[in-house]
């Protein structure tokens, strides 16, 4: 569960008339909505399929809905929702980390340029650009062999749809 811990990081950007009790309410609502979602997801899976039939299976939630509805579209929908969850987590961490750099810049713990606000957009643009550059640099460092190995693993799941990403010798990671 993520999101509730981001409230204090962006608290400075709140409306000036926003009372302190509003922050507590925002954090509690995020926790309750998140917990409610997880309870609802577990209850839905428990309702559509007996748990004994899902033991030891990978991606049990998707299998449960596929068996219950007799269709593949729920599996695709669940995968799409999982991807949105990853994007949401990335977005929340991006906002939190850029605001953290912004706060450090304002305190002059790091160069004060990170604590500047863009005149037109009223955002910590230098901190945002720094986090973006760090993210892109991190993505560029993913080894090609690791990606190729992942593609080969996908290929093994369904040999008819995928071909090897690289020769066996090149995919070995030492």
Task: Encode the chain (174 residues) as per-residue pLDDT tens digits.
Answer: 456 666 776 766 666 677 777 778 878 888 888 889 889 888 888 888 877 777 887 778 788 888 888 888 888 888 888 888 888 878 888 888 888 899 889 898 998 999 999 999 888 999 999 999 988 887 777 766 677 777 777 666 655 554 555 555 444 444
Which pLDDT does position 78 carry in this prediction? 81
**Spatial CA neighbour of 161 closest among 150, 152, 170:** 152
d(CA 6, CA 95): 8
d(CA 26, CA 5): 10
Residue 109 DSSP code: S
| pTM for the structure as a whole | 0.58
Q: Are 154 and 161 in contact (CB under 8 A)?
A: no
* Residue 155, SS3 per DSSP: helix
- Among left, alpha and beta (phi > 0; psi -120 to 50; other), residue 123 is beta
Which pLDDT does position 85 carry in this prediction? 80
Which pLDDT does position 113 carry in this prediction? 92
Question: How many CB atoms are located within 10 Å of the residue 39 CB?
Answer: 10
* Residue 141, SS3 per DSSP: coil
Axis crossing angle, helix 60-69 with helix 20-48, rounded to the nearest 10: 60
**Spatial CA neighbour of 1 closest among 21, 22, 31, 28:** 31
């Amino acid at each position: 569960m993520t999101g509730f811990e981001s409230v204090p990081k962006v608290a400075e950007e709140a409306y000036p008339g926003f009372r302190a009790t509003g922050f507590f309410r925002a954090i509690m609502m995020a926790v309750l909505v998140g917990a409610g979602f997880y309870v609802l997801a577990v209850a839905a899976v428990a309702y559509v399929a007996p748990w004994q039939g899902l033991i030891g299976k990978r991606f049990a939630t998707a299998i449960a809905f596929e068996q219950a509805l007799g269709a593949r579209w729920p599996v695709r929908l669940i995968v799409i929702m999982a991807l949105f969850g990853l994007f949401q987590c990335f977005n929340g961490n991006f906002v939190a980390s850029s605001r953290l750099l912004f706060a450090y810049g304002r305190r002059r713990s790091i160069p004060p340029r990170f604590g500047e606000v863009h005149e037109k957009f009223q955002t910590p643009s230098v901190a945002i650009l720094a986090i973006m550059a760090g993210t892109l640099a991190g993505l560029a460092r993913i080894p090609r062999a690791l990606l190729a190995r992942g593609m080969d693993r996908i290929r093994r799941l369904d040999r008819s749809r995928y071909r090897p990403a690289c020769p066996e010798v090149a995919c070995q990671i030492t």
